[in-house]
């Protein structure tokens, strides 16, 4: 079978204080801050940091309705999702749906880095929230 999901693009981490998290990953752990974005329409502050060929996405919820705020209320801070690169997101979404995988997004949305992304339902992935991102 051809590869459906490519390499791990980033690991999403839910945090309550993105400045403190940036300091930990940046100054203490030595990651390089590569991008930052506020997404008020989704109640999110996002920062990307990299080390070696590994990228993390720090996510802080800025409103009570934000998916990240709700996630932290239920499960605390920590790993929120894994994101894998795909070359044709619409094709992969259709193939996964045909395989019976539940998708949270029926249509791709534009992610923090401007790429098309979609989330698979954790109930279809052993409790792990998986994101696919078109590169």
Which residues contribute to the site for Zn ion (CB under 5 A)? 12, 57, 83, 131
Nearer to Zn ion, 49 or 98 (CB): 49
- Report the alpha-carbon distance of residue 83 to residue 76 in Å, rounded: 20
Nearer to Zn ion, 56 or 96 (CB): 56
- Report the alpha-carbon distance of residue 60 to residue 47 in Å, rounded: 9
Dihedrals phi, psi of 88, to nearest 5 degrees: -135, 95
Nearer to Zn ion, 47 or 96 (CB): 47
């Amino acid at each position: 079978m051809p590869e459906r999901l490519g390499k791990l693009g980033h690991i999403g981490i839910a945090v309550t204080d993105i400045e403190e998290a940036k300091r930990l990953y940046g100054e203490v752990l030595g990651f390089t801050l590569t991008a930052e974005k506020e997404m008020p329409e989704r109640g999110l502050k996002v920062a990307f940091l990299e080390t070696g060929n590994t990228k993390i996405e720090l996510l802080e919820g800025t409103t009570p309705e934000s998916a990240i705020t709700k996630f932290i209320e239920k499960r605390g801070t920590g790993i929120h999702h894994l994101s894998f690169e795909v070359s044709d997101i619409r094709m992969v979404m259709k193939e996964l749906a045909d395989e019976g995988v539940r998708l949270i997004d029926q249509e791709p949305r534009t992610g923090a880095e401007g790429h098309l992304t979609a989330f698979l339902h954790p109930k279809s992935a052993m409790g792990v929230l998986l994101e696919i991102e078109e590169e």
